[in-house]
Structure 1
């Protein structure tokens, strides 16, 4: 089967990703549900508080985007490019005046991502304490506009924004999307599009699975054969590929512009056939295996007893850390069936020291918690959760060690699971995951012994054994990815399938306008 995230460093890492409200403020928030008013806009994620007001603002050829300080320029530039392509209006960015005002002068007090949005007949005002908060508010504003705003070509107006008062901030600091580029390779342009689609739903972390048995996708200058040889293959013998370091920097910068943190993953000690095939000396017997294009897992392992293994990982992590401004390096750690447990534990300890050596915190799949790991680490729970809680021991072990968890259970959050038996793509080893199943769960109540304070956030991984095109990836991600993003963003008290299904249905016309491939689930009234 296939699968798949104190110290000062830990605090810095959380601040870098997002500053959510304190736990007491999160638990006592009482949202005004978007569905409580018949004319309320159907927003995903649902905001903490939404009140419909009188008045409508019309965006016209004379509208300006006003940014009183430089803090809001990134959000303003993003909004201008989004609106210009569909409205055809010039939408100049100004330092003063009326129109669409993005004000980061502070006073909101709801963390780095919190914002307030007000729409009257005189204009739109988004207030936040940071540029990141403004950007999250911009994502809400775009959903207040007609669906055709998502078009990449000029459309006819009018461009009306209904009157609302919104206050909003995230439940969890981490809302991630993961893309597997190792089983099948996706170009820089395709990765950027996936980042853009995720950003629309307030995703703030992008986990890039860069290596596996089938391919190595990032150039490492000190070990050039990893990409040049190990990057040539993909599942079913399809064309491979890899990112140059310039390509990777471009992806990181693109994500940063959208306030998204890139987390690179080099899967170890298993899922390493592409690396082992590239360099014979990484193998215990000194013999390189053939490149692999199948989909089995658990058969490969780095030679954990060799010094060259750790010299190799030191070089790889050093180069990746230099390229990655975010706080985490993901070292994999799952399905290491060919590594003895005592060797695995020692291996994780050594790799963690290397990650720390280069100023980063270690992220890994939940199996890393079978070793002693530091509290700045993050473990990603991925195993399906059964009624007996079988397979959840590593997650509980992480929580007991004071390690934060990312919740990505395969039977809820894996976007490569089939919707139904008839779904032409994907797999079903973790079960069938229709839209409701992907939405109808609580990260803080899934595992006995793991509560709200143990959870850093949620992630929606997509493994690409069966997906060769971005259109196929989109079909499997939508409508499920926005639902998982809402689980991570919106207050627990706001989660209701009945309310959500009507709100996610309203996203359908937006996806059509933006040429997004998506599954028209019969559970949702698209």
Structure 2
């Protein structure tokens, strides 16, 4: 059944999914204008539970943010960041003060709130103020993002009375950006972080290297960025990030409780590296730089010890720059590497990751080799993926390897919405907004229990995405559906209810200057 609407003062019940509409992806929002949603009903992702009722809190001039008791510097930092987000460029001052006595927005960490987990929170709104309680500062931050959605897009106003109790379904809720095929600056990626955090995305996967470009400076191998980074698809100038720019992104994301997962793809997708250093090629000859979009033709030389010095030094520098626990080593589409060589290479690459104290993450092709203990596999298969490939992934999951689900015909953001979409590709089929949302990660792969699913991620590949406008058109609004699939309880995953919540986000995306795709399946307000 659908999510039930209740009058103010009653519990918002999140009903079970309407499987018929959800699984086909053909459901439409309907022709009749929907009734106006209350602020709680507009929240995206849908929270675990809401009890709406009573008068709310009037937010405006004179409002303060209070932290405590005993709040440390991190809680104060959450308060300062929330103050900036709520204030905006022209809003009222929001002082952050110590202590939770008095009206205002009160932030409090309570380690006894075991039911909330590491990112959950409880938000209570009443005339005397708003209380946000969590076990961790990260939970306080997530609660603050919910508060932002309860306020009018224009800024000050009344936060409705009631209680939101919330926690995520999956620990990993990610988005991936490919800066290798077309180069994008740190500032553009930071903008994406800001667009994602209101929807509780907590991981940014950055695809740093590929055949067309190497995008991060490596001191021990300087030509990787200097030469290998000087190009992109179509022959543009490319570019690369300095180490300091990468650190800046990692810090910026980390302040917003978003972990950065860097990816150095290997042993395939490596032409930019092979062009930069002849010694990485088995014949000792460097190929020309590549500006096309074909895949599967390049490979590091598995037989050379120099290759493993390269892997060690590159991953060592990357590990030093990255505080998060994961390093992604790619491993997909290594068609130019014989299967036995692929397995041998990945054995050694995984050992390097472990030596630097990190956990391996790789595309699901690693399941066909020998995944290291605890290695995380990212599944990008789709409805036409062979039964044998799926079986390898299921077996790896049953052997204890957590899965991140990124089915290409659901959440690859570079897939066209329809034939008329300007940028993007269609090798996995067209992916309209309804199809992108209408699947259940916990039941997606037959034979894989929900407990084996670490989370979900929406990749945005850039073979045919070259500008910020194209990036945002392809990502929005589909990435918001991914955010809900990762956060909200399974019972809330209903397309009709979601399409209305999504429509309510239209004015917020417009206020951010996002040129999003106005799907005809969504009852946008105009």
1:89 aligns with 2:87: no
- Alignment of 1:140 onto 2:121: no
Give CA deviations for 1:473-525 in whole Å, capped at 9, x if unaligned. Answer: 11111110010111111111111001100000000000011111200000101
Residue of structure 1 equivalent to 2:14: 33
- Provide the C-alpha distance between the structure 2 equivalents of 1:349 and 1:129, rounded to a whole number of angstroms: 39
Q: Does structure 2 conserve the Cα–Cα contact (< 8 Å) formed by 1:375 and 1:401?
A: no
Q: Cα deviation per residue 1:271-292 (whole Å; 9 max; x = unaligned)?
A: 0000000000000000000000
CA displacement at 1:105 relative to structure 2: 2.8
SS at match of 2:459: strand
Give, in whole Å, the separation in 2 of the partners of 1:245 and 1:353: 24
Query: In structure 1, what is the equivalent of residue 128 of structure 2?
Result: 122
CA contact (8 A) 1:108 1:114 kept: no
Q: Which residue of the other structure, out of 92, 100, 103, is the alignment partner of 1:98? A: 103
- 1:203 pairs, out of 197, 201, 204, with 201
Pairwise CA distance, 1:394: 3.4
Is the counterpart of residue 194 in structure 1 residue 192 in structure 2?
Answer: yes
After superposition, residues 372-383 of structure 1 pair within 5 angstroms as: 372-383=370-381
* Alpha-carbon offset, residue 163 of structure 1: 1.2
CA distance in 1, matches of 2:398, 2:373: 10
Any conservation in 2 of the 1:214–1:294 contact (CA below 8 Å)?
Answer: yes
**CA displacement at 1:388 relative to structure 2:** 6.8
Structure 1: gaps spanning 5 or more residues: 1-29, 150-157
Residue 120 of structure 1 and its aligned partner are, at CA, apart by: 0.9
1:106 positional shift: 3.0
Q: 1:164 deviation in Å?
A: 2.1
Conservation of the 8 A alpha-carbon contact between 2:12 and 2:51: no
Written as runs of structure 1 = structure 2, the 5 A alignment for 1:73-84 is 73-84=76-87
Secondary structure in 1 matching 2:483: helix
- Tell me what 1:231 maps to: 229
Distance 1:394 1:300 in 2: 24
- CA drift at 1:33: 3.1
The 8 Å contact of residues 304 and 343 in structure 1, kept in 2 or not, is answered as yes
Gaps of 5+ in 2: 1-10, 16-33
Could you tell me which residue of structure 1 aligns to residue 391 of structure 2?
393
CA distances 1:218-272 after superposition (whole Å, capped 9, x unpaired)? 0000000000000001000112111111000000000100001100000000000
2-side partners of 1:287 and 1:38: how far apart? Answer: 64
The DSSP-based 3-state class of the residue aligned with 2:160 is strand
Distance 1:85 1:48 in 2: 28
CA positional deviation for 1:389 = 4.2
How much does 1:86 deviate?
A: 4.8
Distance 2:502 2:485 in 1: 13
1:448 is matched with which residue: 441, 446, 449?
446
CA shift digits 1:166-217 (9 cap, x unpaired)? 0000111100000000001111111100111111110111100000000000
1:165 counterpart SS class: strand
Structure 2 distance, partners of 1:270, 1:340, is 11
1:385–1:447 CA contact under 8 A, matched in 2: no
- How far did residue 400 of structure 1 move? 2.9
Task: State the alpha-carbon separation in 1 of the partners of residues 91 and 266 from structure 2.
Answer: 49
1:378-412 Cα offsets, whole Å, 9 max, x none, are: 00000113397464233213213210000000000
Secondary structure class of the residue paired with 2:344: helix
The TM-score with structure 1 as length reference comes to 0.90
Q: Quick one: distance in 2 between partners of 1:334 and 1:254?
A: 29
Moved more, 50-59 or 425-434: 50-59
**1:196 alignment partner, SS class:** helix
Aligned residues: 489
Query: 2:272 touches 2:289 (CA, 8 Å); kept in 1?
Result: yes
Residue 459 of structure 2 is aligned to residue 478 of structure 1:
no
Compare 409-418 and 70-79 and name the one that shifted more: 70-79
1:108 to 103, 113, 122: 113
Q: Which residue of 2 aligns with 1:339?
A: 337
- The answer to whether the Cα contact below 8 Å between 1:300 and 1:338 also exists between their aligned partners in 2 is yes
Partners in 1 of 2:247 and 2:37 — Cα distance? 46
Once the 2 structures are TM-superposed, how far is the Cα of residue 32 of structure 1 from its aligned partner? 2.5
Q: CA deviation at 1:128?
A: 0.3
Looking at structure 2, the residues matched to 173 and 85 of structure 1 have their Cα atoms a distance apart, in angstroms, of 29
- Which residue does the alignment assign to 1:3? none
